[in-house]
Structure formats: C-alpha cells, structure tokens
Chain A
Amino acid sequence: MGFTHIDRYAGRASWLTAHTSAGQRIWIALAAAFAAGLMPAGAWRALAALGFVIALGVWSARLPVSALARRVGQALPFFLLPALALPVSVPGPTALEVGPVSFSGPGLLRAAEIMARATLAVSAVTVVVSITRATDLLRGLDGLPLPSLVKSSLSLGYRYVYLLNDELERTARAIRSRMGDTTRLRLWRARASTLTHLLLRAHDRGERIHAAMLSRGYRDQLPALQPAALVSPVWTLAIAATFAVIWLAGLMESMG
C-alpha cells in the first residue's frame, strides 16, 4: 500500500476516519467538489474559507504537502487547457502582453479562479482517498444512488486496472529490451500501440470473467459480504452543511 501507481491510500488515521464511514467520506468529498466547482465567479473570500476547511482536512490526515502537490499536479493539466483560453477570450483591459498575444486582466483573474477551484476540489478528493482504503470506498458506493451496473464496473475496474498496469509494464520492458537506445518519443509510440493491444485483450478477459461470474451464480448484481459500517451521519451532515454555507456566502459575495 502507500502512494503506489494506482491506489492512493496512505494508511493515515484522521479525525475524519474516526467520525465518518467510507461512504460518508465520499459524500463529503462530493460536497467539497461541488462547493468549489459551483462557487460563483469573484467570490474569493468564500473560496478562501473553503480552502481553509479543506486545509484542516489535509492537516488532520497529516498528508505530506509534497504528496498532495504531486496529486494535484497530475490532475491540473485537465483544467489548465480551458483556463489558458480565458485570458485571451475574456474581454477587458490588457494586463500582460507576450509578443503579439495580449492577455486581459479579467481573463487572467478568471483563469486563476478556475485553477484555484480545481486545486481545492482535487485536494478534497485526495484527502478522502488517502485516508480510505480503495476497497472501503467501493463498499461505500453502496450508499450512493448509482445504478448497480456502475458500482459493479467500478469494482471490477479497480481489480483489473492493476492487471492491465502489470501487463503494460511487462510489455514496456520487452519493448525496451528490443529497441536498445531509442528516443522517448519512439518508446511512447510503441507503448501506445501496446496499450491498444492490451485493451483488445482486456475485452477477451472481460468475457472470461463474465463466464467465471456466471458459473458461480452471478445474477446482475455484485453481492456485498459486509454491509457498510453504521456511523452516525451527524458529522457528515455538519461538514456538508459547512460547505453549503460557504457556497451561499460566496453567492451573496458575488451579488455584491
């Protein structure tokens, strides 16, 4: 376990682990992500308050800042592209000129805001996955109003992503051993082609897994051995309410 490739569980005890169940932590992460994502534009003070609450979670989990930064750094490129378009597309007085391209002040501010929101949302999720075993998170999904097919897919996905990863590593080693000295670009092209083959093989494996499930009596739903732990929802509701209040404060702040 630990900060491996896929499983982000860091085995850390936290105030949250003592007072909430895995399923409740999923709700908390969702509430934080929604509060950050739906925060009205220009509500900087509310965003700062949200950041403070999430920072408390990071501190409580004793999550190393470097580990958090790495995780956030991996997710931010997905938000960077739309954020980068704003300084050139949002009208307003020019704040910065780089060669022929001019960046508007309001656009830069909006871009910074998007990055801040994304950082907060990813941080909240990182805290939850760092203090909760992936298997507990999967069990916690039972409390969410999701179709059983989605839950089954996530459960199987968690199990088999390791296998795919192992196969990818093995084939990458085989490629490296045959290519000798090569450029990184050629290596990545070879890896991409390998990945395609692996995905095709994954389809075959899917059929075999389905046969194995049927032969043991599977009937469209993965059965749960242990019901989700019963934990009073008081703290979960309190934290979710805090996020809701901060979001409302942000709404009022943006309306002036």
Chain B
Amino acid sequence: MSCLDGDAAWGLEITGLAYRYPGASAPALSEISLTVEPGEHVAIVGPNGAGKSTLLLHLNGILEPSAGTLNVGGLPVRRENLPEIRTRVGLVFQDPDDQLFMPTLLEDAAFGPLCHGASPDEAEQRARRALESVGLGEVDTGRAAHHLSGGEKRRAALATVLSLEPGLLALDEPTDSLDGRGRRQIAEILRARRQTVIVVTHDVEFAAAVCRRLLLIDGGRLVADRAAADILNDTDLLLEHGLELARWLHNR
C-alpha cells in the first residue's frame, strides 16, 4: 500500500535538540529550539562545521537526537514513525552523486515512490512529473547520472525527492560548486515551491534570495533567528561567525 498522500506543507518544531557523534568530545548540536511554519521558506546559515548538516540529518530520522524532540506536521520523529516521516520530509544531500545511486535518471526519481508502495505506473508518473518540474523533462530519462552536467545532477537530485511530493523540503548546500546560471535555476525552483523549504548553506546571499528568514548556527548552537535582510546587513554578526559576502571581496 502506498503511504504517499499528496503535497501538503508541513511545519517543523524542534525543542531542546542536542546531538553528539559517537566518540566525539564536544556535542555537534546543543539546545536547538525553533519552529518553522507550514509553507515557510527558511535558510540555516553558518560557517563550515557549525552543525548545519547534522541538524538536517535529524529532520527525517537519519540521526537520532541525544536529547530533545522534533515534530514534523505534529508527528514526532521517532523510529516507529519513520516511514511516514520520510514521505513528509524530502532530504537532498550535499553531493548529488550520493543521491543519484540508481542506474538511470528515471529509476532514481522513481526510487522513493516505489519504496513507499507506489505501483510502477504511479511511480513512473511521479518521477516524470518531478523531472519536468526541475526542467529535466526533455532529458533522456534512461541516461545514467554520470552523463549529466553538474547543474543537471543538482536538479536531478532535487527531483528524486520531489517525486515523493514531500510537505517539507530540506536541502544541504544546494548551490555547492554551481555556476551563476545553475544557482539561479535552483533559486527559481525553490522559490516556486508551495511546501515548507529549509535550505542549509554557507552562501548567505543565496539564502537571502530564496528565504525571508535566516537561522544562524555556529558551534552547534542557534545564535540568531531573524529576517534575511536584517542578518545580511549585520556585518559584525556575519564576521563574528565566519560568514562573508561575495561583494566584500571588492569593498574590503
């Protein structure tokens, strides 16, 4: 039986989240509490090693918190709820080559729906729709991922979760090693989503272009939760937490 139920927008509630990697001396995340409303677009920014990706891996239960709770659309992220949670949260990993593991593009996009019980026909329809929505409708879907360009791989990786029609879309560094056009394409795709979108990035300008609200994480702690324009203009805050804007290369 399929447990895919359309494209609702799910909110997120995190309370007192902490996580320590096995054998690590310091926690990767400490006392993270935040709320994201359904349909809201939020970016999590911070320097390398701040804990952004670790936080993202908690959203669909890939990592289990050492302390604290997470709820997606009111459903606690717990082991027994994981099949349902993983249809609600579409997680796009930083390296698209990690995400595109099937022999062909179409099989990759259909993987999620098939795993959640969709029939092959329904899975194929969903996969084609998802590929179409990221501008890959014209690409030969029988192609293998290693024949795609960097930008196409990024969009294909996004399609692999859009085919699940998740209510919460979470992306880890979606513009990493993309050229200007590739960044713009990803920004346009994300802005058009009706779902809740959470983008993890150290590219503050991209984050502000896609989201109105930015969460700044450093050292595993949430240090700011403000409007994007506000954070973008707070030079001292950005510098204090190792974030620099591209335009400063000319001005400083």
Residues of A within 8 A of B (CB): 134-135, 138, 155-156, 158-160, 162-163, 166, 205, 208-209, 211-219, 222-227
Contact = CB atoms under 8 A, between A and B. Distances in A.
Interface stretch (B18-26, B35-43, B86-94): B86-94
Interface of B: 57, 60, 62, 83, 86-87, 89, 91, 93, 95, 97-104, 106-107, 110-112, 114-116, 120, 123-124, 127, 142, 144-146, 160-161, 164
Given A159-B145, A225-B110, A217 B116 contact: yes
A208 B115 contact: no
Given A135-B142, A162-B146, A219-B115, 12 more contacts: A156-B101, A158-B103, A159-B144, A205-B97, A213-B101, A214-B62, A215-B60, A217-B112, A223-B115, A225-B110, A225-B120, A225-B127
B86 A212 contact: no
Chain B facing A: main interface SS: helix
B160 A222 contact: no
A155 B98 contact: no
11 contacts: A156-B101, A159-B103, A159-B144, A215-B60, A216-B112, A216-B161, A217-B83, A217-B87, A223-B114, A224-B120, A225-B123
Chain A facing B: main interface SS: helix
A227 B99 CA distance: 23
Contacts, number: 86
A1 to B, nearest CB: 9
Nearest to B95: A208
Most buried by A among B97, B103, B123, B127: B103
Contact of B111 (A135, A160, A216): A216
Contacts of B110: 223, 225
Contact of B98 (A209, A219, A226): A209
- The 5 tightest CB contacts between A and B, nearest first, are A217-B115, A223-B114, A216-B112, A162-B146, A135-B103
B98 A216 contact: no
Contacts of B60: 215
Contacts of B127: 225
A100 to B, nearest CB: 52
